[in-house]
Amino acid sequence: IVTLEVTGVDGESVGSGVIYSADGWIVTNRHVVEGATAMTVHLEDGRDFPGLVYGIDTLTDLAIVKVEATGLTAATLGRSSAIQVGQTAIAIGSPLGVYTNSVTAGIISAIGREITTESGRLDGLLQTDAAINPGNSGGALVDAKGRLVGINSAILSPSRGNIGIGFAIPINLAASIMNSLVMTGRVSRGYLGVSRPDSVT
């Protein structure tokens, strides 16, 4: 898990990210890094690297960041498709941008949730009661074996603090988006279109 210190047009903010591969690819949330003019990536071992936003996917609130580093310890991926309600969930991140690499535990409260945020509608989410607070966005949701099953993305709270309703993007989806962005720099989606002719003869 890494901490992202972001400077943008709206000021400074702090979020979290997950090392996806040993050669410096990091997955986080779009809303953490969008509009960044400068970014510092803080690793748990004390090293700092400048980060570059390499790609963004608006529909899933995902983004990837690149740092020029090798030999990093990447997350072990799990299978979010195998997640069941009631199983252990552990959230890791940097709440409030101060308490780096904090760990909280709970359960998977629901799967396939849909929410509307300031960034738009997100669906297919994992819901958890593991404490997620501002600054945790982009951090890891892992199972009891430490396998990455989701990317923490949003909370539902009138006070903007934890009330036990948090949401994560399933890793099966995140991995697909990540791979597409790394390989092509963009996300390609298929669609089915149906049209009706203006007149029928």
- 3-class DSSP string for 32-82: HHCCEEEEEEECCCCCEEECEEEEEECCCCEEEEECCCCCCCCCCECCHHH
Asked if 42 is an active-site residue, the reply is no
Asked if 61 is an active-site residue, the reply is yes
| Catalytic pick among 31, 42, 129, 153 | 31
| Catalytic pick among 94, 102, 137, 153 | 137
| Catalytic pick among 13, 42, 57, 61 | 61
Q: Are 160 and 183 in contact (CB under 8 A)?
A: no
Both tokens of 131, joined, read: 């404490």
Positive or negative torsion for Cα 161, 165, 168, 169: negative
Neighbours of 74 (CB within 10 A): 15
Both tokens of 55, joined, read: 């790609």
Q: Are 151 and 32 in contact (CB under 8 A)?
A: no
- Give catalytic residues, as residue numbers: 31, 61, 137
